[in-house]
Chain A
Amino acid sequence: MISRRKALRAGAGLAAVGALGAPAIAHAETATLKITTWGGKWGDIMKATVLPAFEKEFKCTVSADQAFPFMPKLQTSSKTDPLYDVFHTNSNEQWSALTEGLVMPKITAKEVPNVADVYPYAVSDKIVGVTIFTSAIGLGYRTDKGLTKPTSWKDLADPKLAGARGGYLIPVNSLGQAHLMMLGKIYGKGLTDLDAAYKALEQLKPIKLVDFTGQMEKMLLSGEVSEGVIHDSGVYRYDGQNQAVDFASPSEGVLSLEQVLNVTPGSKLRELAFGYIDYMLRPDVQKMLAEAVWYSPANKKVKLDAKYDAKLLTTEAKVATLIQPDWKWYNERKDDIDARVTKILKS
């Protein structure tokens, strides 16, 4: 016969087992995937449509951090319990994160089936993780200033544009960093020819510098600059709004500004994280986001509406014009480059 004391003890034991098991069950039921993501129009679409649909399908919640800076936050958190499961940044930061062991080197079709359908640039040796979208960095220009459409990167050095050309604070902006490498290619022996790049940068003065691409957009819209380095989506987003701005792809090629997703090795939700990346690479999700923010989808199977298809990089031939900088090489020299370009642009 079971005594009252034994029954109570057994009950307490069951309760303890239940309590121990409960967090795991609750975790499975309400798993929260922690991601980083952009703000602006992208963030609006993500919050309004993309993430709710993902949460519904995968029966989870997503905590999307839009507050920069992502990298120091990830660096500060524990590698075994990282602040993020999925790390969305541009390519340069992914390389920094890889150096510190904070993200996976590659995302393959084994983990994310839709990777099988991406263009080669999206998983090239210049990429850590997997690219889900790219933009083309080229030249934005005013169409009402009597300028001919730029055809070469060299056009930015036209003396007529003195004080009316726009660039970036190179230490803090990856478009500025990519442009510096492009100067090495155009005026020297290649993307890594820094001496040629520095010399060419000197010739671009006087130049108006900004921190963010959003500021470059506004400077072009207001006419404060007549021509500047910018990504195509930063110009195409004003399509149909009667603005006197256009985008030009230089004949030497456009620089690739990749939107990269990656998974943190210590993530407790790796499968869900891979599921999220796979979801972001689905043709329907890619189409929705591409047409909302004018990003070129990485998935080859995406069929965009004619208006977008005409301008974005949606064929093998078009993506062949993309030039991908070697961010590993750049990051290793970043401190020296920052010091040098700051000296050049300050003087």
Chain B
Amino acid sequence: MSALPNKQPFDAGRAAYLALNVALLFFLLAPIVIVLVFALNPTPYISFPPVGVSLRWFDKFFGSAEFMNALWLSLWVAGCVLVLSILIGGASALALARGNLPGRAFLTAFFMSPLMLPAILTGLALFQSYLLIGIGRPVWGLIMAHTLVAVPYVIRTTLAVLHNFDRRIEEAAAVLGASPVRVFFEVTLPLIRPGVFAGGVFAFIVSFDQFPVSLFLVVPKGETLPVVLFNYMKFDLDGAIAAASMVSILLALSVVLVLERLIGLKAYVKL
């Protein structure tokens, strides 16, 4: 006679925990599902239940020169911001964590301050500054503005890694004869890399989706995707908006997946 499987007693706490997680997942994913339904629904307005499945809004999005130019500009800007944020944010975090700088707490708060100021004010202030110094609104000005609001993410994630960093590993390398440069590139950098690149992912997404800062800094025929979508929505609220949103979501997801494959962000998550 086979033994009866062990029946675990009902655990109310665990059930509540699971229910909470399911609710959170639903809360996070439901808007994406709604956007997807709207993007695939052929009607030129939001209707539920959908009357069919169509790719007409994706066709419209990918067939529009205005949307495509905006998409490529957004990707280009976000790519530049990713690189700059990693360089500036990574170096700043190292300086803050290791530099024994006077006023370290103040400096940390200073670097984080772009996150505290409403982004629309940052955009307006930069717009005014650019006009005052007479440089107009160049693309590099937009990249600098996005970098300003993206760098704190890299600093924060890198500082988190550095906080758990065992400095004895660096000391061991130095004792064994490695130069400071070699210690940095062969010991320090590989260990903090997940934190730096996780911040880079945030920087990319923050830039790609950036609307308030871009609002004042884009120029005619040089508008980023969020700005184009906002203006489009004022006149044509159809499924092309939802299709563009789906493309944005998939692109952001792709960046995360690619970086995970290349760098292994899971290592950072485990820290």
Residues of chain A having any CB pair with chain B under 8 Å: 38-43, 63-69, 72-73, 76-78, 83, 212-215, 217-219, 221-222
Contacts and interface: CB of A to CB of B under 8 A. Distances in A.
Contacts of A78: 131
26 contacts: A39-B232, A40-B232, A40-B234, A40-B235, A40-B236, A67-B218, A67-B227, A67-B230, A68-B230, A68-B231, A69-B215, A72-B216, A73-B216, A76-B127, A77-B131, A83-B131, A212-B234, A212-B237, A213-B234, A214-B233, A215-B237, A217-B237, A218-B45, A218-B46, A219-B45, A221-B45
A67 B237 contact: no
Contacts of B127: 73, 76
Nearest to A44: B66
B73 interface: no
Interface in B108-128: 124, 127-128
B21 interface: no
Contacts, number: 70
A221 B44 contact: yes
A159 B66 CA distance: 44
B51 to A, nearest CB: 11
A67 B221 CA distance: 10
Interface of B: 43-47, 124, 127-128, 131, 215-216, 218-221, 223, 227, 230-238
A76 B237 contact: no
Given A39-B234, A215-B237, A63 B220 contact: yes
Nearest to A217: B237
A67 B215 contact: yes
Contacts of A43: 235
Given A39-B234, A83-B131, 15 more contacts: A40-B232, A43-B235, A65-B220, A66-B220, A66-B223, A67-B230, A68-B230, A76-B131, A76-B216, A212-B235, A212-B237, A214-B233, A221-B45, A222-B46, A222-B47
A250 to B, nearest CB: 25
A38 B227 CA distance: 14
Contacts of B128: 76
Contacts of B218: 67
Contacts of A222: 43, 45-47
